[in-house]
Amino acid sequence: MDERTIKQYDDFASTYVAEWTHQTPVVVRQLVSKWFTHGSVVLDIGSGSGRDVSWLWNNGYKTQGVDASIGLLNSARLANPGVPFTQDSLPLLAKISSVSVDNVLCTAVLMHLPVGEIAPAAFNMLRVLRVGGRLICSVRPSRESEPREADGRLYTSIEPEVIAGVFRDHGAVVLEAITSDGRRADTIWHTVVIEKS
């Protein structure tokens, strides 16, 4: 876990919540509807404001959230009464039991990890999934010349084939890989759908 990134999210939690709450991650929602069985158990890792937890819950998924930032978790809990949230972090996910969920959503999180934590994070996301379970994971590169953007958040560069390879190295299958534009002209997103075999 990158402490500076989490401190930034904690210190400015209400600003990020206001920014994210009204965004609609269209590509991710299409992929969830396509690949996550309706009514299944979904763990949203790096759940942020809880926006996607709300959407999942309202669309019939049994949802749980995990985030490293207590400031963001507090907002997500307030917005989603009845949904279980846990303060925990990648790469270890130490509080989440093995083979305990059907699907994992991890959008806009993995690039916040130092490069040496990416493979252990992939291992632990697969560890918590049941066999046949699916994982949707998205990352974006830094918008600046350095991996750490001016606000202090780390954006480790992870090429799409590298993300896919990290999961394949742990025996998983890549079902789909998409590169899409972000809302901002200077942003692209790499999204992969993985199945635990």
Ligand X SMILES: C[S@@+](CC[C@H](N)C(=O)[O-])C[C@H]1O[C@@H](n2cnc3c(N)ncnc32)[C@H](O)[C@@H]1O
Tell me which residues touch ligand X (CB under 6 A): 1, 5-6, 9, 20, 46-48, 51, 67-69, 72, 89-90, 107-109, 112-113
Residue nearest to ligand X (CB): 48
Q: How far is the CB of 138 from ligand X (least distance, A)?
A: 7
Q: How far is the CB of 39 from ligand X (least distance, A)?
A: 22
Residue nearer to ligand X on the CB measure, 72 or 101: 72
Residue nearer to ligand X on the CB measure, 97 or 131: 97
Q: How far is the CB of 161 from ligand X (least distance, A)?
A: 22
Residue nearer to ligand X on the CB measure, 68 or 193: 68
DSSP letters, the chain, are --HHHHHHHHHTHHHHHHHHHT---HHHHHHHHHHSPTT-EEEEET-TTSHHHHHHHHTT-EEEEEES-HHHHHHHHHHSTT--EEE--TTT-TTSPTT-EEEEEEES-GGGS-GGGHHHHHHHHHHHEEEEEEEEEEE---SSSSSB-TTS-B-----HHHHHHHHHHTT-EEEEEEEEE-SSTT-EEEEEEEE--
Q: How far is the CB of 24 from ligand X (least distance, A)?
A: 11
Q: How far apart are CA 92 and CA 192, in angstroms?
A: 20
Name residues whose C-beta falls within 8 Å of residue 89's C-beta, 6 or more positions apart in sequence: 1, 6, 66, 68
Residue nearer to ligand X on the CB measure, 140 or 196: 140
Q: How far is the CB of 15 from ligand X (least distance, A)?
A: 12
Residue found by looking up tokens 């069985």 in the block: 37
Residue nearer to ligand X on the CB measure, 73 or 164: 73
Q: How far is the CB of 131 from ligand X (least distance, A)?
A: 24
Residue nearer to ligand X on the CB measure, 67 or 195: 67
